[in-house]
Copies of this chain bind each other. A is one copy, B any other.
Amino acid sequence: MWILRLNMTDRSYSLEDVPERYQKLGGRGLTSTLICDEVDPTCHPLGPNNKLVFAPGIVTGTPAATSARISVGGKSPLTGGIKESNAGTSWAPAVARMRIKAVVVEGMPEEKGKYWMVKLSWDGEKPAVEFMPADGYVGKNLYDVFPALFEKFGKRVHVAGIGTAGEFGYANSGIVFNDMKQRPTRYSGRGGLGAVMGSKGLKFFVVDATDAPGVEYADEALFKQGAKKLREALGEHALTKPKGGLNTYGTAVLINILNEAGGLPTRNFRTGRFEGAPKIAGEAIFENNKARTGKEVYNHACSPGCVIQCSNTLYDKDGEEIVSCVEYESDWALGANCGIDDLDGIGKMVYWCNAYGLDTIEAGDSIAVAMDSGLLPFGDLEGAINLIHEMGKGKPLGRVLGGGTAFVAKAFGNPRSPSVKGQGMPAYEPRAVKGIGVTYATTTMGADHTAGYTIAPEIAGVGGTSDPLKSEPAKADLSRAFQTTTAFLDSTGHCLFIAFAILDIASGFEGMVEEVNGVLGTHLTNDEVVALGGEILKRERAFNMGAGMTTADDRLPEFMKYEKLPPHNVVADLSDEVMDRVFGEM
């Protein structure tokens, strides 16, 4: 196993044996540890001293179900703290099959505005890297560039890269990966890591894993036993089974559910219910597609080996693809949060975010804050699409919007910025769902639902139940439990959506741990993996503190403390002490 270093100052590379300290890590655990070890937390995120780390998960590249996640880490230009953002893509197992534990991108070219491509392939004995200019691929729509790249490098390659958002250095710029149809749709979207990649002059990172030897197992039998248990659990759970909730309605199945709960943030978090919710819900996507294609369209996998298959395609009235995929978060951010109930219009916005390399959550939040500030009315679809183009083309307004939610709010002098640590909030109203509010406030990542998805027990009844509206200190314990487990889950390479099955079905959790032990040769218990997750979080938090954060950064925005959210008329009322319990008692 190797760590591959790309030096973008002089465009050289090196392969290193994996130091013992990193041998049992993968995914988020590895990216975060490498960043903590090698990056000065006070460095400028877009300066020469930041690094960008890619790491497949521990079981990525194996046949473990739904495990093709790539973790990307660095110091975030959005939050100023550490960032791990992961995506499901064939790029991840391709790297893992080359026995590369992590890729560390370092340095910075002297020449500005010049971009490079890297091609990683297997030379028969080891990985080999080639650098080449990216001229001709810069400043363009990724939907045009991706086919050209696959044309140039062949159909068997896998592509990571940035769009114009990353070239412009936006704090809202993701890193894109190809999906199963080689479209530019899978994103490590959050936290502006696209700008970090862009600051290093790295436009595309192409991987050809042909002839790569594949992942090594310490105990293949144990791995297989675990993989079988997890696969069975996933096939059994109502949310993850074939033609189950996610496979049928996609993640947007949550639109109606959160709306019902009064926790669907609407019009820049002014209310918790959107009258247009049924028109943009997962059920509507399914029914529309059925009417437009003449058949029931179940969802597909975003990456190889996924059995959950929650990625949808949105079809227009002629049965042509508008975009794939409209996830709950994108649907909400660009829809309900902007007061927009036009599903096709939302699909177009998702398309353009993908085309330019923007995170859809941050984009939707940013547009909603602009609407809240009077720049355009809520519900103005054409105006919102125009703002996405302003961003993608680097126009002046785009420079404002591309800075993200808190940045836009500052530009307009608007105190109603639904953000924590500078990162815009996802699709759950923290005043109406108290546990997720604790996660938003305290996670090392800035407002992030995936960091500790208490929605499972608070809304979905998965992994127990917890009253979403109840302001109680136990919410800190709930969030902590989810945050620590997630930090480990994000290290395995599995998608977060296995959480439903492993929380409700004990053998599923057991299976995940056995897979990991089978690959690594460890003997981790269930408790130990949670403890490991806690260690990762503590490391990440130490980085943030080194960067200058304090507990004052572990707070929900002030306006949520004095502004009552309809329909439940609730405020953010968990005390600072409760927030501080998350890490205080870790």
Name A residues whose Cβ lies closer than 8 Å to a Cβ of B.
Answer: 41-44, 46-49, 77, 112-113, 168-171, 195, 198-199, 374, 390, 395-397, 399-400, 402-403, 407, 410-415, 545-550, 552-553, 555, 557-559, 562
Contacts and interface: CB of A to CB of B under 8 A. Distances in A.
Contact of A546 (B171, B410, B552, B559): B552
Nearest to A40: B558
Interface residues of A, dominant DSSP: loop
Contacts of A198: 413
Nearest to A404: B410
Contacts of A49: 558, 562
A395 B400 CA distance: 11
Given A400-B399, A403-B411, A413-B198, A552 B547 contact: yes
Contacts of A550: 545, 548-550
Given A170-B413, A410-B403, A413-B170, A548 B552 contact: yes
Given A171-B410, A198-B413, A547-B552, 7 more contacts: A112-B374, A396-B397, A399-B412, A402-B411, A407-B410, A549-B550, A550-B550
B562 A48 contact: yes
Given A400-B396, A412-B399, A548 B558 contact: no
A558 B407 contact: no
Looking at A43, A49, A415, the one whose CB has the most chain B CB atoms below 10 A away is A415
A522 to B, nearest CB: 36
Contacts of A403: 410-411
A91 to B, nearest CB: 24
Nearest to A546: B552
Contacts of A399: 396-397, 400, 411-412
A47 B413 contact: no
Contacts of A77: 410, 413
B396 A558 contact: no
A348 to B, nearest CB: 23
Nearest to A168: B413
19 contacts: A41-B552, A43-B558, A47-B558, A48-B562, A49-B558, A77-B413, A112-B374, A195-B413, A198-B413, A396-B396, A396-B400, A400-B411, A407-B407, A407-B410, A407-B411, A545-B550, A548-B549, A548-B550, A548-B552
A414 B402 CA distance: 14
A412 B558 contact: no
Nearest to A422: B410
A170 B400 CA distance: 13
Contacts of A411: 399-400, 402-403, 407
Nearest to A400: B399
A414 B77 CA distance: 11
A77 B417 CA distance: 14
A44 B558 contact: yes
A41 B576 CA distance: 14
Nearest to A398: B396
A271 B195 CA distance: 27
Nearest to A553: B548
Nearest to A170: B413
A402 to B, nearest CB: 7
A198 B412 CA distance: 12
A119 B403 CA distance: 40
